[in-house]
């Protein structure tokens, strides 16, 4: 197992954090953590090029951001969103409902799940289900985003008052296009 090695890249960030703590950004956040300032949930890829804070100009407290490989609606994502819905229903029924934006993007690394050799090797090493991994591949983002929006719209524990929309982000142009 790993020995403790100093992190090369955190020093600058810790400095930035101290500067951040001196601003009033942290005082403009929502009072209830599942009622973000813009009542929005954004689901997108972990790819550093698609950071929604930058791409969508989100400020601290604006949205609940969920990220995984591809920005896919997995069982774990679904459970998180259903949990937020449940909290909303039980704890803050009078508040506005949140909307959900699913963003897939061009040139997504998840497309490599479609590479059989890579995927089979990874599935073997990590004891993962190769068929499930293959389904995560974002090869055609307009197609996968539509499928994931469909899944969310059909999810029984998500409130129908939550509008679910899907977008494709083009990493070359920086533009977001609405798909569904
Ligand atoms: Zn990606």
Over the stretch 77-100, which tens digit does the pLDDT of each residue have? 999 999 999 999 999 999 999 999
Domain borders along the chain are 28-170
Quick: pLDDT tens for 95-139.
999 999 999 999 999 999 999 999 999 999 999 999 999 999 999
pLDDT band of 1, cuts 50, 70, 90:
low
How far apart are alpha carbons 172 and 170 in whole angstroms? 5
Among candidate residues 107, 90, 118, the one with its CA nearest the CA of residue 174: 107
What is the Cα gyration radius of the chain? Answer: 18
Q: What is the pLDDT of residue 2?
A: 61
Topology of domain 28-170, CATH: Beta-carbonic Anhydrase; Chain A (3.40.1050)
Q: How far is the CA of 22 from the centre of ligand 1 (A)?
A: 33
How far does the centroid of ligand 1 lie from the alpha carbon of residue 68, in Å?
8
Strands 176-178 and 63-68: unpaired
- CA proximity to 131, closest of 139, 123, 142: 123
CA of 131 to the centre of ligand 1 (A): 19
| Å from CA of 4 to ligand 1 middle | 30
What's the confidence (pLDDT) of residue 5? 76
Does position 34 have pLDDT exceeding 80, yes or no? yes
DSSP state of 176: E
pLDDT on residue 75:
96
């Amino acid at each position: 197992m790993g020995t403790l090695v100093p992190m090369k890249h955190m020093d600058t960030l810790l400095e930035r954090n101290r500067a951040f703590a001196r601003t009033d950004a942290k005082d403009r956040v929502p009072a209830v953590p599942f009622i973000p300032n813009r009542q929005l949930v954004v689901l997108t890829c972990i790819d550093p090029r698609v950071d929604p804070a930058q791409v969508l100009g989100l400020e601290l407290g604006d949205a609940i951001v969920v990220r995984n490989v591809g920005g896919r609606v997995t069982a774990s994502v679904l459970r998180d969103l259903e949990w937020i819905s449940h909290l909303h229903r039980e704890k803050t029924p009078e508040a506005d409902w949140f909307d959900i934006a699913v963003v897939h993007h061009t040139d997504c690394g998840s497309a490599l799940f479609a590479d059989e050799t890579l995927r089979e090797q990874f599935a073997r090493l990590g004891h993962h289900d190769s068929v499930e991994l293959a389904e995560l591949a974002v090869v055609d983002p307009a197609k996968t985003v539509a499928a994931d929006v469909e899944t969310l719209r059909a999810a029984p524990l998500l409130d129908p008052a939550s509008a679910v929309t899907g977008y494709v982000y083009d990493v070359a142009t920086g533009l977001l296009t609405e798909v569904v």
